[in-house]
Amino acid sequence: MSNAPVIRSDAPGSFPWGVFHERHPELVRRVLDALPYGPAQRAAVERLLAESTTGVLTPPTADGPGAAQWREWGEGLWGRPWGEAPFLWAESYFYHRLLEATGYFGPGAWQGVDPFAPFKDAELAGAAVDDELAALGELDGLPQPSRADALLRSALWGNRADLSFQLTAEPGGGPAEAELLADDSALLWAELERAAGGRVCLIADNAGRELLPDLVLIDHLLSGGLAAEVVLYVKPQPYFVSDATTADALATLDRLRTAPSPTAGAVGDRLWRAMGSGALTIRTHPFFCAPLPYHDLPGDLRSQLEGAALTVLKGDLNYRRLVGDRHWPPTTPFQAAVGRFPYPVAALRTLKSDVVVGLDPTTVARLDATGTPWRTSGRHAVIQVRTQR
């Protein structure tokens, strides 16, 4: 099954083509409007946009972090049109080059300035977050299984808050229209209960409104004894607009602690203490901004994940890297697609790109018959688990 063709962005009208030719131009406009970049940065960003839509791939011009690695990853691709590169690779490289163009890698006054921070900060401060945090109190009186299920689904559907996705998302598509296409939640809870008191790794996706329910779920695992230790993995640098960095995680934790909701504030205080005791740890690794699938895990990161009761991967990008960003038949078994991931793994993913596996034929036929872009609309999701037993 590994001969499934790699997804590329060179077919006009396809979803990947739209990312480069519709989503990225809008993103560039918003980035240049959000911060007062000077003429040099603005020109570099515009050159990147032109190159990525009508030009050919060129290696990094600066010698900043990761430049040498990207030159190696791009062997055989430099000089070819962007659309001929694997979509996941090209999309990742676009964000590396955008940081380079805005001066993030320095040296200079813009070194370390997150070009997406204005978007993430505005979302985290928004009234919608207040409503979501206030709603936490409504879960306090639920029976334990119902509360756990609600927290898991909140973490799953929080992925709809992806800021990059919102650039071109269709209006509507609220929870009433959403659908869970594969639901291994019972297996997820059984696996956690079987190894209760162990270590759980959660590889985060987006900041803000997605990371908030992730943190609440982590608190549930720790306070309920399902995990004695949780390791939260974030990106080492800004990536895919809203992906969470350490700074984002700390800002989100502070939002919890200072929320008017007593329930949310208590969660934030418990997590703060958990970080102080080592029960909750935030880690990162350069691999999380690499254009590579998870079966290429480097040895040091593989060692960190070893022994975890479960590794939970959040979001669309992590899913693409887990199963491979390929044109898999959607009925390909999830177990087979993640066969090279070495440890027990769960994917909580809202569908916002073409790749999906683990669906039954009846579901696929029904969705295909609707004539809608169900794989990319963000209105459908999966909870999929692969154990090692």
Q: Which helix (H) or strand (E) holds 385?
A: strand 380-386
Query: pLDDT digits over 212-262, tens only?
Result: 999 999 999 999 999 999 999 999 999 999 999 999 999 999 999 999 999
Last residue of a domain, one of 65, 91, 115: 115
Segments forming the whole domain that contains residue 75: 15-115
Tens of pLDDT along 285-312? 999 999 999 999 999 999 999 999 999 9
CB contact at 8 A, 179 and 379 = yes
- pLDDT, residue 164, reads 40
Strands (E), 148-297: 179-183, 198-203, 227-234, 280-284
Q: How many Å from the N-terminal Cα to the C-terminal Cα in the chain?
A: 22
Residue 97 pLDDT more than 80?
A: yes
The residue with tokens 């038949």 is 329
Residue-averaged pLDDT of the chain:
92
Sheet of 179-183: strand order equals 179-183, 380-386, 345-350, 310-314, 198-203, 227-234, 280-284
Q: Per the structure, how many domains does the chain have? A: 2
Which residues are bridge partners to 383 per DSSP? 183, 348
Residues in the chain: 389
What's the pLDDT band for 158 if we cut at 50, 70, 90?
confident
Q: Work out the average pLDDT over 343-359.
A: 97
Give dist(CA 16, CA 23) in Å, integer: 10
Q: Where are the beta strands (DSSP E) in 67-188?
A: 179-183
Asked if residue 334 has pLDDT above 80, the reply is yes
Of 84, 115, 146, the one marking the end of a domain is 115
Say if residue 262 is preceded by a cis peptide, omega within 30 of 0. Answer: no
Res. 18: pLDDT tops 80:
yes
Q: 154 with 146: CB under 8 angstroms?
A: no
For residues 179 and 309, membership in a common domain is answered with yes
Whether 12 has a pLDDT exceeding 80, the answer reads yes
Rounded CA separation 344/337 (Å): 13
Same domain, 150 and 77: no
Q: Which helix (H) or strand (E) holds 187?
A: helix 185-194
Q: Of 62, 83, 115, which residue sits at a domain end?
A: 115
Amino acid at 206: N
This prediction has a pTM of: 0.94
Q: Does 6 fall in a domain?
A: no
Question: Predicted confidence band at 77 (pLDDT cuts at 50, 70, 90)?
Answer: very high
Asked whether residue 1 is domain-assigned, the answer is no
What's 270's domain CATH number?
Answer: 3.40.50.10880
